[in-house]
Amino acid sequence: MAHILLSWELGGGLGHAGRLKMLARVLLARGHRVTLALRDLGFTQRVLADLPVPRLQAPVWLHRTEGMPANQASLAEILLPAGYLEAAGLAGLVEGWRGLLQGFAPDLVVGDYAPTALLAARTLGLPASSVGVGFCIPPPEGPLPNLRDWEDVAPQRLARAEAHVLNVANAVLELHGAPELPNAARLLLGDVPVLCTWPEFDHYGRAAPEAVWHGPVCMPLGGAAPAWPPGDGPRVFAYLKHDHGSHAAVLQALADEGCRVLCYLPEVAAGRAAPVLSPRIAYSQRPLALDAVLPGAALCVCHAGEATLVQALLAGVPVLMLPMQLEQFLLARRVESWGGGINGARAAPHAPGGVGKVEDWRASVRSLLDDGRYRHAAAAFAHRRGDRTGLQRTERVADALERRLVRR
């Protein structure tokens, strides 16, 4: 069977590691050999400790690049300070990846937001595919989309950034006698992109016929059984973080609206004082088993992380989304567009950080609980997309990667 190297280079959080873990398990069960090259080995240890595969440190850019716009408005502008500003620096990263690939000699390189891994594979003539959510797998043709279409970002600025990234990447390919890339999007796609999402979650709002949608590949979030606060009132599951400036105001609004809230707030679980004290709010000391929590919930409050959103909406539960960064904001905006919930950062898009906030949280909570259109949209989504399990979706992704091996 084949040796497949799964790589992750850019972005934060555990979503990339969880997706690669699910995929590695399926590939191992099919008899393949798997190696992981990861941006962060320490943070992912608790997720990957039981996965019996070698784990390596991915070559990543370590230096701060000055003079970049604070409001990065395209994937090209995200890549520039990540090693794509100068050919010499990128050539060094590529050499690191080439050494790793030459040492392990995989039959297929799979990149989850790992453009330099895919670039290095191209210099060696190795088959390469990308996997991931829509954000890091852009449309293959045309310019890279403007990620901040609510701001006055000059098209010339985006075009310059994209041309620069493409020229730098192609200069490195030329050093190795490899074929150049036709456009900057191909840098993130590899030979065969595998979209691990659905149109309802696509950051670019692509229409269904434009791509093959394999569905989300998210690691099941196991954990503690739910212990809801006693009494009456709708049950609300909240997964929040202290760094969001409105987390306390939202919890207070939920209590004021008579909800019974089961909240996992990692900082409270680690010993920080609870932001709101109320008999209507119970703070869990451990992550919760969402497959046990969500079927009894009337509402989910989260930061628009893909894994939580997918599980909530597949359970037919509408969401109040409090995005903390651009990728989450785009996902929240997409979900709101078809009625699955409310994007709590939509009201003032020119606020610091690029997104605003909803001030009247009680009104948002009332709308989500009382306006049947939200629950109807979530239930319709669950009916439309609930025909396959997470494992079955992962099997489809593995099928697509195996087809790439056959075409070698």
**Same domain, residue pair 367 and 402:** no
Residue 3 C-alpha from the chain's centroid: 26
Q: What is the mean pLDDT of the chain?
A: 93
Mean pLDDT, rounded, for 22-30: 98
> Does 229 map to a domain?
no
Q: What is the pLDDT of residues 228-251, one digit of tens each?
A: 999 999 999 999 999 999 999 999
* The two structure tokens encoding residue 259: 């909800």
Does 350 score more than 70 pLDDT? no
14: in domain = yes
38 inside domain: yes
353 pLDDT band (50/70/90 cuts)? very low
Question: What contacts 228, CB < 8 A, 6 or more positions away?
Answer: 235, 260, 262, 282, 296
Interatomic CA distance for residues 90 and 96, integer angstroms: 10
- Asked if residue 224 is part of any domain, the answer here is no
For strand 235-239 and strand 299-302, is the pairing parallel, antiparallel, or unpaired? Answer: parallel
Whether residues 209 and 80 share a domain: the answer is yes
Quote the tokens at residue 24. 């590695």
What integer pLDDT is reported at residue 65 of this predicted model?
A: 86
- From 311, 258, 266, 308, select the one nearest 284 (Cα to Cα): 266
DSSP bridge pairs for 193:
130
Q: Among positive and negative, which fits the CA dihedral 98, 103, 104, 106?
A: positive
Q: What is the band of 66 on the pLDDT scale with cuts at 50, 70, 90?
A: confident
Q: Are residues 246 and 205 in the same domain?
A: no
Q: Is the pLDDT of residue 357 over 60?
A: no
Q: How confident is the model at residue 60, as a pLDDT?
A: 97
393: confidence class by pLDDT, cuts 50, 70, 90: very high
Query: Lowest-confidence range among 65-74, 124-133, 299-308, 357-366?
Result: 357-366
Count: domains in the chain: 2
**Tokens encoding 156:** 């010339």
Within-domain flag for 223: no
Tokens 């003079």 belong to 67
Q: CA torsion angle for 221, 227, 229, 230 (degrees, to 10)?
A: 150
Distance of CA 208 to the CA centre of its chain: 19
Tell me the per-residue pLDDT of 144-194, one tens digit each, with 9 for 90 and over. Answer: 999 999 999 999 999 999 999 999 999 999 999 999 999 999 999 999 999
Contacts of 64 (CB under 8 A, 6+ apart): 81
CA angle 131, 399, 123 (to 5 degrees): 50
Residue 316 belongs to domain with CATH number? 3.40.50.2000
Task: Indicate if 209 and 62 belong to the same structural domain.
Answer: yes
Q: Has residue 180 been placed in a domain?
A: yes
Asked whether residue 397 falls in the same domain as residue 376, the answer is no
Does residue 209 fall inside a structural domain?
yes
Query: Which among 51, 49, 78, 75 is positioned nearest to 65, based on CA atoms?
Result: 78
Q: Verify that 394 and 355 share a domain, yes or no.
A: no
Give buried/exposed letters for 269-288 (b at 16+ CB in 10 A, else e). eeeeeebbebebbbbbeeeb
> Count of residues for the chain?
408
What is the number of other CB atoms lying within 10 angstroms of the CB of residue 21?
Answer: 21
Q: Is the dihedral of CA 24, 28, 32, 34 positive or negative?
A: positive
User: What is the mean predicted confidence (pLDDT) over 215-228?
Assistant: 88
How confident is the model at residue 356, as a pLDDT?
46
Q: Are residues 138 and 186 in the same domain?
A: yes
pLDDT for residue 355:
43
Candidates 308, 291, 330, 316; CA nearest to 381 is: 316
Whether residues 335 and 202 share a domain: the answer is: no
Characterise 378 by phi-psi region: left (phi > 0), alpha (psi -120 to 50), beta (else).
alpha
Q: Which domain holds residue 320?
A: 235-385
Assigned token pair, 184: 């900057």
Q: CB–CB of 335/319 below 8 Å?
A: yes
Matching residue, tokens 């620096």? 89
Tens digit of pLDDT for each residue in 171-185?
Answer: 999 999 999 999 999
28 with 159, same domain: the answer is yes
The SS3 call for residue 224 is strand
**Residue 58 predicted with pLDDT over 60:** yes
Asked if 200 and 63 sit in the same domain, the reply is: yes
198: how many CB neighbours lie within 10 A of its CB? Answer: 19
Q: Output the pLDDT for position 398.
A: 97
Q: What is the pLDDT of residue 348?
A: 42
Q: Would you say residue 230 lies in a domain? A: no
Q: Are residues 394 and 328 in the same domain?
A: no
Does 377 lie in the same domain as 397? no
**What is the rounded CA–CA span in Å between residue 367 and residue 218?**
29
